[in-house]
Amino acid sequence: MLFVLVPVADLGLARDWETVFAQPYAVADVVDKVGPAVVFIKAEFQAVAQRRSPFMDPMWFFPFPQPGPRESAGTGFIISEDGYILTNQHIFDPPERLEKIYVSVLGHEEPYEAELVGYDYDLDLAVLKINAEGDLPVAELGNSDEVRVGEWVVAIGNPYEYDHTVTVGVLSATGRRIAIQDTERGQMKVYENLMQTDAAINPGNSGGPLLNLKGEVIGINTAVRAAAQGIGFAIPINVAKEVVDDLIQKGKVVRPWIGIGYLPVDDAVREYFGLPASTKGIAIVDVYPDSAASKAGLRVGDVVIEVNRKPIEDAEQFREAIKGLKPGDTLFFIVLREGRERLVKIVVGEMPRS
């Protein structure tokens, strides 16, 4: 049998392989660089008879430990020298029962009491603030849009409160969608566009960094598949970068909100609302109280056929027409109501916090 040795470069393999084999301390270098910016978080809650995790779907587990009915724990990483920390929201859920947050920083003997500056349930992101003397070490944020499936990744966290545990794997996939039953709120919680990794993630890793071999944060470790091995998920760091200023400055993610439920006009909708067979557009099937739509006078049964002079024939055209809106923007709808066209002016509102 003949064996032919081919240089790694000739195979077109990822540069990360060359880095690992040529530099056996590559991962250790990443840990030395980023480890000091990774923090241990413990949250204390008001005493309740029983505090269950809101994520109790047997197929999924959001990895934060629950040592008692009053505590949860996780990981975070410092993003500014003056003490802002990025982490997961679910560590502090439910926020109305939250009493105190403590953050432990490497090289500092006593934990700091932290403030929950801002959080977003839908994205599972939160920002904390601690006040420490001097400049704190900062984790460098990378670009999750540039990651490659198969590249090496490093996770640093506090699984089961084992401080600064390091695990290594690869980026298994991108663009994953998962849904978990939120029993406390009685609804499904859906996550879009997550990164999948086989780097070991366990209870306590929540909110910790997923790193590339440059020592850049490319994701925020969030969830694992409970019944599997080596299937963990992270929020792409670019998602966090888009909203972190809102979380710091306004305490929440500011989202535009019109306040309607709608369906594309098809035969069933035409029959239900008694519309002519030629009618196209989107039919309003719900108007939320105190929303921009309600204040503008939109009604259930109105059919939107034009938005800002753009004809609307289906739901995709409607979504495209309202894409990129900001609170305070003005929209002009032409709607069909009782067989007549009407012009409706709408000032876009702000979506309430989930």
- Per-residue pLDDT, 252: 93
Chain region(s) in the chain for CATH 2.40.10.10:
15-19+138-242, 29-45+56-129
Cα distance between residue 69 and residue 58, in whole Å: 20
- Per-residue pLDDT, 94: 87
Q: Which fold, 15-19+138-242?
A: Thrombin, subunit H (2.40.10)
Band the pLDDT of 19: cuts 50, 70, 90: low
Contact at 8 Å (CB) between 52 and 183?
A: yes
Band the pLDDT of 22: cuts 50, 70, 90: low
Active site residues: 90, 124, 206
Pure H helices in 159-314: 237-250, 267-273, 292-296
Is the pLDDT at 58 greater than 70? The verdict is no
The percentage of residues in the chain with a pLDDT greater than 70, rounded to a whole number, is 86
Is the pLDDT at 4 greater than 50? The verdict is no
More confident residue, 154 or 15: 154
- 230 vs 30, 140, 170, 197, 223, CA distance in Å? 21, 26, 10, 7, 11
Cα distance between residue 324 and residue 308, in whole Å: 14
- 98 vs 56, 84, 155, 159, CA distance in Å? 20, 19, 27, 22
- Per-residue pLDDT, 20: 53
CATH superfamily of 256-350: PDZ domain (2.30.42.10)
Q: Which fold, 29-45+56-129?
A: Thrombin, subunit H (2.40.10)
Mean pLDDT of 207-218: 97
Q: Enumerate the β-bridge partners of residue 86.
A: 77, 127
- Per-residue pLDDT, 260: 95
As given in the structure block, the two tokens for residue 173 are 């996939």
Is the pLDDT at 5 greater than 60? The verdict is no
- Per-residue pLDDT, 68: 46
Average pLDDT, the chain: 87
- Per-residue pLDDT, 54: 43
Q: Which residues, in sequence order, are CB contacts of 207 under 8 Å at separation 6+?
A: 41, 74, 75, 76, 77, 86, 87, 88, 91, 126, 157, 220, 221, 222
Tens digit of each residue's pLDDT (9 = 90 or more) over 124-175: 999 999 999 889 999 999 999 999 999 999 999 999 888 999 999 999 999 9
- Per-residue pLDDT, 9: 46
Band the pLDDT of 18: cuts 50, 70, 90: low
Rg (CA), the chain: 24
Is the pLDDT at 317 greater than 60? The verdict is yes
Mean pLDDT of 308-321: 94
The per-residue DSSP string of 133-161 comes to SSPPP-PEE--GGG--TT-EEEEEE-GGG
